[in-house]
Structure 1
């Protein structure tokens, strides 16, 4: 594919540290979300249907059974793995419950890393101390924060239930304890355009971040946005426009920051649109072509990245 030639990818970073590219074993630990259980709201974020991105969603398997099943998929490709608590808000429970579930994953001798996906407003100081404790024991820990956009207006529109300030606070507290932060951003959210994506990147870089995940907005069955899309009230990015914006964001990003992902896809029939998001490789090829033509990560001086006059 050639992405590694232009981007500091997670795979390359793992190979440098562990001698091989690690695989993430996704875990559905039966967490929920304050935006679904009534604490903040119900129905979740307007774009969300967790079944579209979580391989193990809905499983009745225990955490060790899920790890073993994931290991079977990657047999012969690696000997070390990362336990990835992906579905819903994986820090949203009592401390003792969280600790028990994380402990159940990292006790596996093949697990050398722990990724915990969550919302910026659901990370207590106790959780940060817990994760810092795992890191002190030699586990490679990543806290994945779903920011999606640095615009509070957009966050309200998509029913996130948190603000940019919540994100900035959690990043500050986590990184002060040495916890690496990977931030998720979605390109193509309603009302946003290319400059808005750069504004979000600028805010994230200013706050301090260790990794990034970029996703195109895609419409999935079961989401609130599916209704708006069916009534033609949402326009989506073409593959070419997405590749252009991702390329620019990569060029503005310092080389030490690790890209865990530069695109995402979902399978039909859960995926409704755009069609190009059903095929992982098409989007990647378009991004690599853009990088090949215009330069890779860190090509632009960071001082060139300025927020527009449009308020965040």
Structure 2
């Protein structure tokens, strides 16, 4: 069996909806982050590479050019003809709605683009922006609002200098879902001070609020970060691959079968990655996850009745 036989992935979900393969095309629209520009804080999250976040060091091409280049590349290599414009870099709702409309419209103007996936922070999803995204959905476009929660524990979020708490996530999700916007929540496994209990409790509270999609990601230690300095001092130990695979399988089992997994692992460029080294490759991790579920004789939703757990502090 393949992993897609055990997990409801975004690829299979989009194929069923559109009758063919749909691929994300990453877009860098030149945004920054309120946790870096002084609005919420400076320095960003402890696991973020500061040098790579320098607005003066990146001059992305216009959105239309990026989309055209990305779709042409995927068309040549894989024969894909339908795409989601994935606004991925930084906080992609961190501007006034008029500016955002211009960026989103530029991506959607490409004939092969069927919708948007917009990555942002829970504290950067004001009503006017949610209304704009809901408008695109009402016009028939595929729209996903991706919220970077990472953990439901406020103590953890403060420890990594996230700049928001679970309360902001709860508000953003409720407002998005009230407008009919599908939400994909991001969770990081392996944050400092967390263990399997925290991972499962975070998932529990995300499911409790209601969500349509999930992304799981192992914590990377990369160069130029405060986490990297802590790792060098022996103050942080990243998850081993077997630990991550076991924890991810637990969460997959606890996730209702109809929810869409947009991601089950993540990688970092070898030039930036310090630890764990297994995060340099994607497929060995996905294959190990499929094997773990096979050994368990399990799949997504097999343990979806989640017992009541403590509220995050």
Contact preservation (8 Å) 1:250, 1:297: yes
Q: Secondary structure at the match of 2:84?
A: strand
Q: Secondary structure at the match of 2:143?
A: strand
Other-structure match for 2:238: 236
The answer to whether structure 1 residue 6 and structure 2 residue 6 are counterparts is: yes
Q: Secondary structure at the match of 2:7?
A: coil
Other-structure match for 1:297: 300
Q: Deviations over 1:47-80 (max 9, x none)?
A: 1138889xxx935311111112212331243100
How far the C-alpha of 1:96 sits from its partner, in A, is 1.1
Distance 1:2 1:10 in 2: 14
Contact preservation (8 Å) 1:52, 1:271: no
The answer to whether structure 1 residue 215 and structure 2 residue 217 are counterparts is: yes
Q: Secondary structure at the match of 1:38?
A: coil
How far the C-alpha of 1:310 sits from its partner, in A, is 7.7
How far the C-alpha of 1:311 sits from its partner, in A, is 4.5
* Structure 2 residues not aligned, in runs of 5+: none
Q: Which of 190, 193, 216 pairs up with 1:191?
A: 193
* Structure 1 residues not aligned, in runs of 5+: none
Other-structure match for 1:38: 38
Q: Secondary structure at the match of 2:122?
A: coil
Distance 1:7 1:161 in 2: 32
Moved over 2 A (4+): 49-53, 57-60, 309-312
The answer to whether structure 1 residue 74 and structure 2 residue 74 are counterparts is: yes
Other-structure match for 1:60: 60
User: Please, what TM-score do these two structures have when normalized by structure 1?
Assistant: 0.95
Contact preservation (8 Å) 1:150, 1:199: yes
Q: 1:299 to 1:229 in 2, by over 3 A?
A: same
Q: Secondary structure at the match of 1:302?
A: coil
Q: Deviations over 1:103-129 (max 9, x none)?
A: 111111111010110000010100010
Other-structure match for 1:102: 104
Contact preservation (8 Å) 2:154, 2:312: no
Q: Secondary structure at the match of 1:102?
A: helix
Other-structure match for 2:173: 171
Q: 1:63 to 1:102 in 2, by over 3 A?
A: same
User: Please, what TM-score do these two structures have when normalized by structure 2?
Assistant: 0.94
| CA RMSD, Structure 1 to Structure 2 (Å) | 1.7
How far the C-alpha of 1:131 sits from its partner, in A, is 0.3
Contact preservation (8 Å) 1:50, 1:88: no
